[in-house]
Structure 1
Amino acid sequence: MLRAGDALRFTPDEIDAYRKLGLDFDGARTRDDIEQALTRWTDTLNDERPDLLEKIAVAMAKARGIKLPARLTRMR
């Protein structure tokens, strides 16, 4: 990713790598564009694979050393 002030650019290789994960950053030029793409991706995951979204959230929280909100806490 290349940055120039508030503008962002992704290389074609980066766009292809993100597409393999289901993210479409083609045409993203600002942080807002990236946020919108991530929102669409998480909404899709929530609809299609909520279990996978939860695993991602748990791993991200663990990596940052933070607690998950109560609605994402796993119950056994």
Structure 2
Amino acid sequence: MAQAIANRLNKGDPEGVARENARLREWIADQLDQGRVFEPGKVRSSEKGVVAVVEPIHEEMFPGRVRAQRSDRVR
């Protein structure tokens, strides 16, 4: 999921995608080392294809670049 978002944010910049993906892998590994558990990535299908559903965790992965809509639903 993070890689798909990084690809979209850095469209047309393969070196930027590579840097972002390396940074994300390190961030995710650090989170896992600290005992964090991630839910499986969520996607939705539309006539335009399959897209990632951006949730609050992605705001942490891409600070200042990705915003997730807040929902009033109780999980």
Task: State the TM-score bracket (shorter-chain normalisation).
Answer: 0.3 to 0.5
Bigger RCO of structures 1 and 2 (CA < 8 A, at least 6 apart): 2
- Could you tell me the TM-score, scaled by structure 2's length? 0.35
- Calculate the TM-score normalised by the size of structure 1: 0.35
